[in-house]
Amino acid sequence: MRLHDLKPAQGSTRKPIRKGRGTATGRGKTAGRGQDGQKSRSGGGVRIGFEGGQMPLTRRVPKRGFSNYHFKKKFAIVNVERLNEIKEGTVVTNELLKELGMVKNKEENIKILGNGELKVALTVKVDKVSESAKEKIVSAGGKVEVE
């Protein structure tokens, strides 16, 4: 099979609607734009957020105070149950969890939560660990070191 032999799956593509090609097509004359007005003309229409001359919502709403949104730390969550996949005695770090695919985003911090049971003894060195996860890791014979 070559690149020029490829075809889309049966029924996955449809022909585009051809507008303005005569009255018999059902989309002739005004081509679905209606009779008159700004939106019927080529290049016509209004910008995003335009409210017909009324003061737009984005300008009406007061803007004060401080938002911590841009500075907030984001944590990827890994449950204790997932750590059973790792070999006993291993040191679990951010890099290891990212390599194993337990965490998708490379930039995120990692937090271990206590959902499930842990059956292997591990040394965990991550950004955050919940209290219940810490108890389960220690009771399984492991250690927790928060970086």
pLDDT digits (tens, 9 = 90+) for 13-33: 999 999 999 999 999 999 999
Mean pLDDT of the chain: 93
- Let me know if 122 is exposed, middle or buried by CB neighbors in 10 A (0-12, 13-18, 19+): buried
145/137 Cα distance (integer angstroms): 11
In which domain, by residue range, is 99 found? 74-144
Residue 44, domain member (yes or no): no
At residue 107 the predicted structure's pLDDT band, cuts being 50, 70 and 90, is confident
6 domain-assigned: no
- Give how many domains the chain has, as a whole number: 1
**Whether this model's pTM surpasses 0.75:** no
For residue 40, being part of any structural domain is answered with no
Predicted confidence (pLDDT) at residue 147 exceeds the cutoff of 80: no
Burial tier of 28 (Cβ tally within 10 Å: 0-12, 13-18, 19+): middle
- Is residue 20 assigned to a domain? no
Residue holding tokens 């209290």?
131
Tell me the CATH number at 135.
3.100.10.10
- 37 within a domain of the structure (yes/no): no
Phi-psi region of 124 (alpha: psi -120 to 50; beta: other; left: phi over 0): beta
Would 41 be classed as within a structural domain? no
Percentage of the chain surpassing pLDDT 70? Answer: 100
Query: pLDDT band at 98, cuts 50/70/90?
Result: very high
Asked whether residue 83 is domain-assigned, the answer is yes
Burial 8-27 (b: 16+ CB within 10 A, else e): eeeeeeeeeeeeeeeeeeeb
- Tally the C-alpha atoms within 13 A of residue 90's C-alpha that lie toward its C-beta: 14
Structural domain contains residue 139: yes
CB 91 within 8 A of CB 125: yes
Average pLDDT, stretch 57-79?
92
